Structures are given as structure tokens and as C-alpha cells.
Amino acid sequence: MRVSSLSLCRLGAFVIIASAALAATSDALLAAEAAPYADASCRIPFETLTNPKTGEFFPPDAALNENIKLPQHLRQRYIVADLNSSDESGYCRGVQEYFSPVSELSEFPRLRAIAVTRNVDIGLLAKENPKSLLESAENPDDATALSLELGDMKNYAEQVERYKTDPVNKPPVFNGYCVGQTLNFCELVDGKPKLVYRFVTSSSRAPPPLNRYYAPVNIINSRSWSSDRRYGASDALRDARMGGGNATQVPFQNGGNPIEMPNFMHFLPAEGYTGERANGIHQIAGGLDSGGTFGSPVSLGCIRLNKYQAKLARWWTPRQAKFFVYFEPNRYRHFGDKVTNKAKGAPNPAQDSSRIAHREQSVDEIVARRARRSPSSALLRWPWSPAN
């Protein structure tokens, strides 16, 4: 959904209970699912998305946050939107969300070590007396860092974890919509892309011009809040460490009847790239996946998320993080056939094979004709240069 009341940068003026064993098994299964297949989404900028300025893939360092004041693990965070709802053969893809266990986040290395030593769940440490935890530190610097981690763990529990839902598992075709769009939150770890979160998303319902409406690479420009949570001192402290953030809520003006777009993260095209400048990543306005359309291109332009996912995205993503957007026009599909899981309007493989065979035959005929006219041209093969 686009921001329609524009001021600065065209933005609006308003500015489950399970056993421990079952939980552990669930986390293990999710972690196994994440590697190596899921990491492919995080490799898109470096292996699939072509930079229109160079004609080449983006180098890994293009994913780095340019704010050198941020800690290294924050500078290595980036986002990849894979907006293809269908695969290369025209079948709708479906979506399986992925949430990294909190114990695996790069946020909490010291707390993770303590949890392992004590053989407890890392989340329990947030309820412990801070003094007992700080006594685990070997030096003052560790104590300071551990104190920050504890503050972030408590902030996560209060502002994100309490909204947690199960990961969405959505079939290829749902209520007639072709499902497959995802928003992937990634890190470079030891120089390799790693998936941290994968969320179902929805982008513009109008097929966007390639590399023009959505720039291939963008920057997270600002991080706003939501009205269903109180913005406190711990939120302000975390925002300061994340490169910036604010307590304001951003509304969609909706013809004079504003609707809040919670957890709005405004993004802008990176310097030298063309793209819409009034869009953001945010929780769906009104809070409901109306008609079960998530996973298909149905928004007015913004990149939309479910409630928990949007809060987690805002908490995890530092300001100035790189945001890559990838899609192929022929795979940007709205509707699908539930019987076949085929995207409506997708090419027919049989027809494609026929066209390819016809084209190859035509090329062979051209080469044969040229050979009859000039024996020396018999060695020519497709493609040939204009000089031939």
C-alpha cells in the first residue's frame, strides 16, 4: 500500500503451549529446513538478480550496510524480496515461512554461551536476576556487552515474542490466488549468505515495470512504530544502536479516512537507481489478511507482512540495511488453478517446446540457405554476428 499523503520523502504527515521436547524438535526441524535450500533466497542478489547498471550480478559487499558506526553483525544484515509467485514452469510456488530460533540469532552470542553452559533455554535468561548473569562475565567489557544483550532479550520478549504465531504454511493456490511471494531476512556469515527469517508477503497488484517501480536495490530509510505497543526507553536505546528509529505511526490516508500502516519501514532506491520513493515494508493495514491473499501481488505498492512478522522485521532490521527486489515479469502472477496449481496466464510448456523446435528449424534453414549461396558460410552457427 502506498503512502498517499506526502511530506518529507512523500511520506504521510502522521508521522500456543507445547512440551519442551516438542519445541526442541520443532526448532530442529526448522533449522534443518533452512539449510541449504532456504539460503538460496539470500543468494539471489549474487547469483540471479542482474544489476541493470552493469549487466552483472551484485557482488557480496553490495549487501553491506554502509553505516560504519554499526556493529559488524548489523552491517551484514540485508533483505531480499522474491516477488515471483510462480516458478519457471508456470506453477504457483506456495510459501513455507521460516523463523530462526532465538538461540541462533547473532544478537545474543554471550547469552547463548551461558544458556549452553547451564543447559537451559536462552529465553529463560531474560527472567533471571541481571546481577547473577553479569557475574558470569570475565571482565568489565564483557559485562557491558552482556548487559546490552540482556536488554535486547527483554525488549524482544516484551515487544515481539508475545505476538508470535506459528510460521505460515500456504499452498500454491489459495482462494484462487497464486501464492509464492516471500520476504527474506538475511545475514552474511563468514562471507556466506544465511537465511534468518522468511515471511509470506504481498507486493503491488499492478505488474510493475522491471527495475523501475521497484528498484533492484534499495535502502531502509526509516523505521516507524505501531499503536498497539508502548514505545519505551528500551525501544529508544535499541533504535539508537540500530542506526535510528522513531515512535511515530505512519498512516495510509485512504481518501481522508486514515488507516495505520504499523511498523512502517520506508525504503528508497539506492543512489543511481530508479524506483518509487513512497513505499514501505509494513504490517497489513487493518491487521487482517483479507481473503487470504497474502503471497500474491495484491497491494497498492507497499511490501506487506502479517502482524508478528512485521514487528519482528522492524526489530531485527537496522536502518540503512540494503533491500533487494527480484522478480521476472512472466512469473509475477496473481491467480492460479487449484486443480493443477498452475498460474493463470502462464505459458503452456507444450506450446513453448513447439515454438522452440520451430525456431531451431528456422535457424537451420537459414544456415542451409546461406551455405548454398556461399560454401564458406556453412560453418556458421547461431548466434552469428551482424557482420555475417
Tens of pLDDT, residues 293-330: 899 999 999 999 999 999 999 999 999 999 999 999 99
Residue 193: predicted pLDDT? 96
What average pLDDT score do residues 183-206 get?
96
The residues that bridge with 252 in the sheet, in sequence order, are 259
pLDDT band at 137 (very low <50, low <70, confident <90, very high): low
Residue 72: predicted pLDDT? 95
Residue 236: predicted pLDDT? 98
What's the length of the chain? 388
DSSP string over 148-179: HHHHHHHHHHHHTGGG--PPPEE-SEETTEE-
81, 303 contact by CB (below 8 A): yes
233, 154 contact by CB (below 8 A): no
Q: Per residue in 264-293, pLDDT tens?
A: 999 999 999 999 999 999 999 876 676 688
pTM for the full predicted model = 0.81
What average pLDDT score do residues 125-139 get?
74
Q: Per residue in 212-249, pLDDT tens?
A: 999 999 999 999 999 999 999 999 999 999 999 999 99
Q: What is the mean pLDDT of the chain?
A: 82
* Segment among 8-17, 109-118, 359-368 with least mean pLDDT: 8-17
Three-class DSSP category at 27: helix
Residue 254: predicted pLDDT? 83
Q: Which of 95, 290, 289 is nearest to 180 (CA)?
A: 95
Question: Given a cut of 50, is residue 372 above it in pLDDT?
Answer: no
Question: Given a cut of 80, is residue 42 above it in pLDDT?
Answer: yes
What average pLDDT score do residues 65-84 get?
97
Question: What contacts 24+ positions apart, CB below 8 Å, involve 228-232?
Answer: 228/262, 229/159, 229/311
What average pLDDT score do residues 143-169 get?
92
Residue 133: predicted pLDDT? 77
* Segment among 71-80, 163-172, 183-192, 343-352 with least mean pLDDT: 343-352
Q: Per residue in 2-19, pLDDT tens?
A: 444 333 333 333 333 333
Better-predicted residue by pLDDT, 27 or 240: 240
